[in-house]
Every structure is written in structure tokens, then in C-alpha cells.
Structure 1
């Protein structure tokens, strides 16, 4: 019976050990240097970097032709690019418009926004599930539902809606006529 699928050599195991420990320690250092934002899921770019860094770490651990230095450089580049992107979007509106997806209003003033739901591929069931998860039992108790850039649904309860100043700037939101006059 061929056991090469289970054990190749002690050198191979040693490479996995050294690569994995190195990748882990370097990743911790990079994340500390890059800040909390480097592990967040605030937008699609954060998610992409998280997946890509995970792929680099896995490649370092198990692929023979990926050296520790290759992985260190790749992680530094990914986290550095993410840092530059988030730094830019926190300072310049043109960068926000270029890189960050806007929120979308999916429900407001007692009506589903079917065009936005179709454009974002969100079903009634998904929205109703999110409403239930937020502890709301009826859509009558909901003022606005938005799809956020991180793909989470935000449910603003009618009892907490106030001026809805956090929603007024979301593309597609319209102030109801009775609020517009006051």
C-alpha cells in the first residue's frame, strides 16, 4: 500500500511546521501594524483581503514552491493595498465614490422597493428573515430597511426613526410628503 498521501518525509513536515508558525506570527504582526480595520468586514474589499490572506497562509503552509518569504511579501502587499484603499476612502470623496458601494433602500414608508431588490438580488424572504432576526414581528413596526455595503440588512424600527437623518443621504430614499413640509 502506498502511504505517500499520508506521509511524504520529515523534511516536508518540518517545512509545514516552519511555514505555518512563521505565517501565523507574521500575520499577527502585520494585523497589529495595519490596525483593527484590516480584519473587519466593512465592505467587499475587506472581505477580499481576508480571503486572499487566508489563501496565502494556506499556500505557505502546504505548497512546496511557495517560500516563507514569498508569503510574507504577498501578505504585506495585500494588507498594504488594503491600508492605502481605506486610507484614501476615509479622506477623499472621489475615492469613496470609486471604491465603496452605496447603501440601497429596500423598504421604506410601508413599501418594498422592488427595483432595488431585483438590482441587488434580494428576495422578500431574506428581508422578512432579517426583520424577524432583529426582533420585529411586523413590517408596520419598520420605518426603513437598507442593504449596507457589507451586505448586511439594517432595520430601522418605526419607533426609533426620528428624522431618519442616517437614511436621507442613501440613494433612492425619498422623504415622505408629510415630513418634507415640516
Structure 2
């Protein structure tokens, strides 16, 4: 039985550099261009899953890739993902770079149209999120934020008794 599929078809250092470059290239695109279109999972999590799947697919299909190549690439991606999570939990600067800050969409019952434009959100989308939070009118809202994971948080005004 030929065991060449276990040997490297390229330098492990080249795999590490290629994997790192693609991780950071895609991370920047996801973080700064596609900021809010990720649903409830974090951008880094989605990026990690996509790259991990692609790396595993290349190693499984063949296409000039060996199991050793795929395993090295997957290990590189796992290390970057873990390192970002680890550093983000310990250093505020890293967390600010990897996580988008919350964006104010409503303040004291008034839509923040500039922020809505920057985030490509329509009034209908805001209304839908308010309905999901059991809010019927804008004047019931003290503040509404678009969170870094794409979800919304609504702070209702206190009711006077």
C-alpha cells in the first residue's frame, strides 16, 4: 500500500504561512466589511468554521494535498482561533480589534438614522426587531443597540406608576 498521502507535498512552513495569511485576510474582510451579517455567532467563529471545512476538504479530496498538509493547515487555523479568543478575553485592546462595538439605533424613542445608514438597516428591519422585543411604539424605547454578533438589545423606558 502506497503511504505517500501521509507525507507532505509542500513545506509545513509554507502551509503555516498560507493558512495564516488567509485567516487574517478573511478576518479583516469579515470584521470590517461584513460586520453585521453573521446572525448570532461571532464573525471569528464563522470564519473559523468556513476555513476549517475548506482545509479539511482539500486534504480529503486530494487535489495535490496530503493528509499531513491538511492536518498542518487545520492546526494553524485552530491555533489562530484559540489565540484570538484567549487574548481577547485578557486584553481589552485585542477585544476591541476583534469585536465590533455595539451601535446605537434608537435613543429616547428617536431613530439614529446615520447609524442605520452605516449599518445598512432599514426602518422596517428596526420595526421587526422591536416587535420581537414586544415593543409597539418608538416612544417606549430608551435605547436599542445592534450588538457585535448581529443581535439587537432593546432597553425599554421605565413605566411610571
Q: Is TM (by shorter chain) over 0.5? A: yes
> 1:105 offset after TM fit, Å?
0.5
Q: How many correspondences in the alignment?
A: 121
Question: So what's the TM-score if we normalise by structure 2?
Answer: 0.64
After TM superposition, the structure 1 = structure 2 runs for residues 107-126 of structure 1, keeping only pairs within 5 Å, are 107-126=106-125
Aligned 1:88-103 pairs, distance under 5 A:
88-103=87-102
For the 8 Å contact 2:108–2:143, the answer to whether it is kept is yes
Q: Is the 8 A contact 2:142 2:156 kept in 1?
A: yes
Q: What is the aligned partner in structure 2 of residue 69 from structure 1? A: 68
Question: C-alpha displacement at 1:115, in angstroms?
Answer: 1.1
The 1-side partners of 2:70 and 2:116 are apart by 40
* CA deviation map 1:44-96 (0-9, x unaligned): 22221121112223333334322222222212111210111111111112212
Question: Which structure 1 segments of 5+ residues have no match?
Answer: 1-14, 16-40, 161-182
Gaps of 5+ in 2: 6-39
Superposed CA RMSD: 2.3
Once residues 55 and 79 of structure 2 are traced to their aligned partners in structure 1, the CA distance between those partners, rounded to angstroms, is: 14
Distance 1:51 1:159 in 2: 43
Which has the higher Rg, Structure 1 or Structure 2?
Answer: 1
**TM value normalised by structure 1:** 0.58
Does the C-alpha gap of structure 1 residues 63 and 133 become closer, same or farther in structure 2, counting only changes over 3 Å?
Answer: farther
